[in-house]
């Protein structure tokens, strides 16, 4: 996952902007709201190494401010600043360490849709990836979650929703580093989604494709299927998150453990997901396989139970097992598993 690099002065400036915007919300035509999500718990990773142990964790806790201002009839200015609360190790809360910027963008909203620019969740992720589970991530994935210097457009028209984006990042000789397009169709029971991310950076200009379908069998039961494919020369996130297959805890801490990535080759992910929700209880599960042309496959089964004490406060427990293809040389690594328990409090 890419992180926005912001120096200390900028962080202090943006923090002051947040506080001032909240304080002045009732005294101007700006509508702003402060929000947060605390997600704390513990996990146990079994990867067959001496580091296996139970650990306290932060699961992507964050705070932020959203704001809107009416500019003219039918035209609204929007903005958002969001910080993650983890320490420098990327996993735990650490006293006196810096929070990390997650999102910062400004934009316009009107009949043309919504246009935003800045560091934000990418179009491809919004349409065809989903962090199904309470830890906020999906351990089988392609591409990034958020990125810098993105210009994005989205518009809803009847049952359709469309999105597009371009990225202009760094002085690297490429005016456009990538572009993305996406579409969604939705009716009462069915939702179909598709997205494309096209790498325009450097000499390798491959594509990342994504497709996903959802169907509500009943009010309580929903199923989904997805397919992602990254071409061999799609290396926009090489060395970061493209094609990585890791447990969330390993992914966030930078420790690969027993599972390795398969960049520099075609890689695909296919999976099935199901969710059952009755009153304050939810059970959901996913089976997925990440396939690499050379290093082989990694399969994942993950099951989670959630107990909702209110809309804002919940607890969860989950278990994931990853099995790796050891018939290939080099193989995708050793088998791994992870158990989690945690609490999420939104405000």
DSSP string, 73-111: TTEEEEEEEEEE---TTSSS--TT---EEEEEEEEEEET
Query: Is 107 contained in some domain?
Result: no
Query: Is 27 contained in some domain?
Result: no
Query: Which stretches within the chain are classed as H helix?
Result: 8-23, 123-128, 248-253
Question: What's the Cα-to-Cα distance from 199 to each of 98, 118, 174, 252, 322, rounded to whole Å?
Answer: 32, 19, 11, 24, 29
Question: What's the Cα-to-Cα distance from 126 to each of 145, 157, 189, 303, rounded to whole Å?
Answer: 8, 17, 19, 22
Query: Is 95 contained in some domain?
Result: no
pLDDT at 318 over 90: yes
> What are 108-139's pLDDT values in tens digits?
999 999 999 999 999 999 999 888 899 887 76
Query: Is 82 contained in some domain?
Result: no
Residues near 211 by beta carbon (within 8 Å), at least 6 away in sequence: 128, 193, 194, 226, 227, 228
Query: Is 253 contained in some domain?
Result: yes
Q: Closest Cα partner for 304 from 289, 288, 283, 324?
A: 283
Q: Closest Cα partner for 326 from 287, 295, 289?
A: 295
Question: What's the Cα-to-Cα distance from 53 to each of 47, 80, 155, 178, 327, rounded to whole Å?
Answer: 10, 38, 47, 40, 28
The enclosing domain of 174 has a CATH number of 2.40.160.10
pTM: 0.81
d(CA 310, CA 298): 36
d(CA 233, CA 197): 12
| Domain count across the chain | 1
What is the extent of the structural domain holding 342?
A: 41-60+113-346
pLDDT band per the 50, 70, 90 thresholds, residue 249: very low
> What are 73-121's pLDDT values in tens digits?
889 999 999 999 876 556 666 666 777 889 999 999 999 999 999 999 9
d(CA 289, CA 323): 9
Query: Is 74 contained in some domain?
Result: no
Map residue 315 onto helix, strand or coil. strand
Angle, CA of 113, 119 and 120, to the nearest 5°: 55
252 Rama sector, left if φ>0, alpha if ψ -120 to 50, beta otherwise: alpha
pLDDT at 8 over 70: no
Query: Is 227 contained in some domain?
Result: yes
Per cent of the chain over pLDDT 90 is 50
> What are 171-215's pLDDT values in tens digits?
666 688 889 999 999 999 999 999 999 988 877 788 999 999 999
């Amino acid at each position: 996952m890419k992180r926005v690099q912001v120096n200390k002065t900028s962080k202090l400036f943006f923090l002051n902007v947040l506080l001032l915007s909240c304080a002045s919300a009732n005294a101007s035509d700006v509508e702003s709201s402060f929000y947060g999500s605390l997600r704390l718990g513990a996990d146990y990773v079994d990867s067959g190494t001496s580091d296996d142990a139970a650990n306290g964790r932060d699961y992507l806790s964050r705070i932020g401010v959203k704001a809107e201002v009416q500019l003219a009839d039918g035209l609204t200015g929007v903005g958002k600043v969001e910080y993650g609360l983890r320490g420098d190790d990327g996993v735990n809360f650490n006293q006196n360490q810096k929070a990390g910027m997650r999102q910062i963008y400004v934009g316009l909203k009107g009949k043309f849709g919504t246009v935003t620019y800045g560091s934000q969740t990418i179009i491809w992720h919004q349409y065809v990836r989903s962090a199904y589970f309470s830890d906020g991530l999906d351990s089988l994935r392609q591409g990034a979650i958020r990125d810098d210097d993105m210009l994005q457009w989205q518009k809803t028209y009847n049952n359709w929703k469309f999105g597009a984006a371009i990225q202009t990042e760094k002085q690297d000789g490429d005016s456009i580093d990538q572009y993305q397009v996406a579409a969604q169709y939705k009716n009462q029971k069915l939702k179909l989604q598709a997205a494309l991310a096209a790498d325009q950076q450097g000499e390798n200009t491959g594509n990342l494709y994504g497709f996903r379908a959802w169907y509500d069998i009943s009010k309580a039961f929903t199923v989904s299927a997805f397919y992602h494919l990254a071409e061999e020369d799609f290396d926009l996130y090489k060395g970061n998150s493209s094609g990585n297959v890791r447990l969330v805890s390993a992914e966030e801490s930078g420790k690969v453990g027993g599972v390795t990535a398969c960049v520099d080759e075609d890689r695909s992910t296919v999976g099935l997901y199901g969710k059952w929700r009755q009153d304050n209880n939810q059970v959901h599960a996913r089976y997925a396989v990440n396939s690499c042309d050379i290093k082989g496959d990694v399969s994942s089964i993950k099951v989670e139970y959630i107990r909702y004490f209110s809309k804002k406060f919940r607890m969860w427990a989950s278990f994931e097992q990853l099995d790796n293809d050891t018939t290939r040389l080099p193989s995708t690594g050793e088998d791994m598993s992870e158990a989690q328990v945690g609490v999420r409090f939104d405000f």
